Amino acid sequence: MAKQQTLARFFTSMKKNTSKSVKETDDQKKSDTPKSPEKKKIIKDEEDQQKQQKSVVGKRSRSSSPSRSSSPKKLKPSVQISDEDLKKELAADKIDTKVAGLEKSKPILYSLLCKTFDKIEQESSRLKIIEIVSEFFFEVLQNSPESLVTIIYLSINKLGPDYDNLELGLGETLLIKSICESTGRSTATIKANYKETGDLGSIAQTSRSRQSLMFKPKPLTIETVFKNLKEIAESTGSASQSKKIGIIVRMLSSCNGVEAKFLIRSLEGKLRIGLADKSILLALAKSLLSFEYQKQGKNYNKIDPSLISDAELQIKDTFNQVSNYEVIIKAAMEHGVLNLKDNVSLQPGIPLKPMLAKPTKAITEILDKFSNTNFTCEYKYDGERAQIHLLSDGKVKIYSRNSEDMTERYPDLIQALSNFIKPGKSVKSLILDSEAVAWDRVDKKILPFQVLTTRKRKDVKLEDIKVQICVFAFDLLCLNDEPLIHKPFNERRAIMMDHLQITPGQFQFATYKNLENIEEIQQFLDQSIKDSCEGLMIKLMSSTYEPSQRSSNWLKLKKDYLQDIGDSIDLVCLGGYHGKGKRTGKYGGFLLGCYNPDSGEYETTCKIGTGFSDEDFASLSEKLVGTVISQPKTYYRYDKDNSKSSPDVWFEPNLVFEIRTADLSLSPVYKTGADKYGKGISLRFPRFIRLRDDKGPEDSTSPDQIIELYESQVNI
């Protein structure tokens, strides 16, 4: 009898759930408009109550969402929890990864990582965010250290090192279709919700939470998610679209809670939690050091702060030389994080972050900065930074300034590289810093940068090459697996010239002179312009090579900028303004901004409409067609109260413009540097120079650099 009653209750419950599911689907079909504010509030209240119950029942994950503010006495959990335990849990300061279910030698659930993301998203303090990440990494090291690399890449929304060239960044159309197929909601409803919130991730989470499922899906693990994301990124061809949607739908069907939100954001290419390499490295340093202390039986809660600082410095320096988390973590686990500098150094096949120069706008400024020191002046070539790697097995790799593998773009350079080595010299491996420029072999001269951009970027065949190149080498960073970056520049240059030889029109050394006075530098600068260069690079003879640093030991002097701010600025195109008159049908101007690596946001900087030719407008309009979005991204920081400054069309942050400007000024309309000054920094009389195909949006000029340029002006 009891058994029959149980079965009756089961089937009654099933019938109710089925009716509810069918009714919800019918309602969605009937209306493609968002729910009324009253209905939204009811749904939100129901969802908040469910979240409250889940926070107490089951895993009891600590969350700082608004639902925690409600009194737990109103809930009726199936498992009773004492008030004392609840108080302890609410008062806890550290992330509860152990409580959340991280177990030794078992696969790590994706939900645990997402809960950490959710905690980070609700935290504004950079130090607290690093502490949260460090705590989580520490727990991972104790339980599943082999998963740490995967977790790091998921945390910074990457699928491997930059030089693997694997990217996601799927379009909103594909993601909306995936959410609809997974949740049964209509496209119109999802689009309406997206127009209202601007966050497909949150929409996916809400849509997923409303579904009634007969069977509980198998939980996602970080390894499964990472594998699927890589498969999506690597999918190409005519059937790739449906394949990607199929993978996404399967993952969404297994999502619970905040998993759907962060999965969709990962697929978009932006987690929006402000994590980047800089924060990850700081968190990693502390977690590795804590793990070492624990293994040695020491109190890892009382580590000398100076040792933590040393660990942070070593791991940052190491990453700038070897930008591969797997290599770094393996070395730290074997030798200790405080011994990284003695056990890891740059190696051919892994690009290092290039050293950059600081701008200067007066020759007298150079003489002031480099007084009583020996320096050299080199031509500054107008081309593409090329870091050339010869591996010991004979393979050649070529990387851009942002570590992109562009080997396929230069098969002619690969074929000719052996000719650049002096006969009788032993060169088994090397890392060479250089500039590749377009070259006219008939007139034997450098061609404009725009000519180089017409060369294909991938799958270039020797027989199809129309734009020839010449490589101008200026630094040797590694020779026969021996790092040279700690040697002074004059020694590195001497070693380079001793082992390599000029091949006219294909491989040459950067033209240089060691000068001492204003007149000589001015004449050399004028000559560089006549030779189709941008200006001069001025380098201290004693300077070591500082990967990833914009060092004052290297200065750049550009002819065109002597009367301006001293340097061009690279900004990301965020929006467009419809053209008028002869520009009707094209864009007549653009809204530009810069990427803030600390917040993960794009901060608006200026509107620009000058410096473009008719061909530029036509070309840019064509390039931007596929990047149009229905509304600004939630990580765009712009003046929402000033509709006049808002563009007619918003774009994905893809294209980088090089801009020249007379000077910088404060503006209430733009947001770059607004946290420091209350007003943003903008460009006065900005002029378009060119499109920077060699730079990604995250390589644009940072807010800190713009603040530095603003503060260096003579009159502020």
Query: Given this model, what pLDDT does residue 214 score?
Result: 65
The total of other beta-carbon atoms located within 10 Å of residue 515's CB is 19
437 strand-pairing partners: 470
Q: Is the pLDDT of residue 499 over 90?
A: yes
Q: Looking at 27-36, 94-103, 501-510, 648-657, which range is the least confident one?
A: 27-36
Higher pLDDT, 269 or 189: 189
What is the set of active-site residues? Answer: 380
Does residue 349 come out as left (phi exceeding 0), alpha (psi in the -120 to 50 range) or beta? Answer: left
- The residue with tokens 């009898």 is 1
Residue 220, CA distances (Å) to 133, 251, 434 in order: 21, 7, 45
Q: Is the pLDDT of residue 4 over 70?
A: no
**How far is it, in rounded angstroms, from Cα 7 to Cα 381?**
80
Residue 566 — very low, low, confident or very high, per pLDDT cuts 50/70/90?
low
Q: What SS3 string covers 701-712? A: CCHHHHHHHHHC
Cβ(146)–Cβ(288) under 8 Å? no
Segment 17-22 shows an average pLDDT of: 44
* Amino acid sitting at position 168: L
Give tens-digit pLDDT for 106-151.
899 999 999 999 999 998 888 999 999 999 999 999 999 999 999 9
Q: H/E element holding 248?
A: helix 240-253
**How far is it, in rounded angstroms, from Cα 183 to Cα 572?**
35
Q: Looking at 30-44, 565-579, 639-653, which range is the least confident one?
A: 30-44
Nearby residues of 280 by Cβ (< 8 Å), 6 or more positions away: 133, 152, 155, 156
Q: Is the pLDDT of residue 532 over 90?
A: yes
pTM summary value: 0.76
Query: Given this model, what pLDDT does residue 228 score?
Result: 97
Query: Given this model, what pLDDT does residue 564 score?
Result: 57
Cβ(405)–Cβ(165) under 8 Å? yes
Instruction: Specify the pairing of strand 512-513 against strand 430-440.
Output: unpaired
Give tens-digit pLDDT for 481-491.
999 999 999 99
Segment 581-607 shows an average pLDDT of: 89
Cβ(384)–Cβ(378) under 8 Å? no
Give tens-digit pLDDT for 401-429.
989 999 999 999 999 999 999 999 999 99
**How far is it, in rounded angstroms, from Cα 567 to Cα 380?**
13
Does residue 507 come out as left (phi exceeding 0), alpha (psi in the -120 to 50 range) or beta? Answer: beta
Segment 441-454 shows an average pLDDT of: 92
Higher pLDDT, 527 or 76: 527
The total of other beta-carbon atoms located within 10 Å of residue 170's CB is 19
Query: What is the three-class DSSP state of 138?
Result: helix
High-pLDDT (> 90) share of the chain, %: 64
Q: What SS3 string covers 294-333? A: HHCCCCCCCCCHHHHHHHHHHHHHHHHHCCCHHHHHHHHH
Q: H/E element holding 508?
A: strand 507-509
Q: Looking at 82-96, 536-550, 553-567, 601-615, which range is the least confident one?
A: 82-96
666 strand-pairing partners: 681
Query: Given this model, what pLDDT does residue 274 score?
Result: 82
Query: Given this model, what pLDDT does residue 561 score?
Result: 53
**How far is it, in rounded angstroms, from Cα 626 to Cα 58?**
45
Higher pLDDT, 511 or 16: 511
Higher pLDDT, 640 or 43: 640
Give tens-digit pLDDT for 343-384.
999 999 999 999 999 988 788 889 988 988 999 999 999 999
**How far is it, in rounded angstroms, from Cα 217 to Cα 334?**
39
Segment 26-41 shows an average pLDDT of: 42
- The residue with tokens 């149980």 is 6
Q: Looking at 64-78, 602-616, 644-658, 670-684, which range is the least confident one?
A: 64-78
- The residue with tokens 């082999």 is 146
Residue 521, CA distances (Å) to 362, 460, 530, 536, 711 in order: 11, 40, 14, 9, 26
Q: Is the pLDDT of residue 54 over 50?
A: no
Query: Given this model, what pLDDT does residue 563 score?
Result: 54
Residue 89 — very low, low, confident or very high, per pLDDT cuts 50/70/90?
very low
Higher pLDDT, 495 or 694: 495
Query: Given this model, what pLDDT does residue 513 score?
Result: 97
**How far is it, in rounded angstroms, from Cα 578 to Cα 584?**
7
Q: Is the pLDDT of residue 65 over 90?
A: no
High-pLDDT (> 70) share of the chain, %: 84
Q: Is the pLDDT of residue 552 over 80?
A: yes
**How far is it, in rounded angstroms, from Cα 279 to Cα 288?**
14
Give tens-digit pLDDT for 274-310.
888 999 999 999 999 999 999 999 999 999 999 999 9
Query: Given this model, what pLDDT does residue 614 score?
Result: 86
Residue 169 — very low, low, confident or very high, per pLDDT cuts 50/70/90?
confident
Query: Given this model, what pLDDT does residue 621 score?
Result: 87
Q: Is the pLDDT of residue 627 over 50?
A: yes
Give tens-digit pLDDT for 231-243.
999 998 888 999 9
Q: Is the pLDDT of residue 583 over 70?
A: yes
Q: Own/partner pairs for 621-630, CB < 8 Å, 24+ apart?
A: 621/586, 621/587, 623/655, 623/691, 624/573, 624/576, 624/587, 624/651, 624/655, 627/651, 627/652, 627/654, 627/655, 629/172, 630/172, 630/191, 630/194, 630/195
The total of other beta-carbon atoms located within 10 Å of residue 205's CB is 22
The total of other beta-carbon atoms located within 10 Å of residue 683's CB is 26
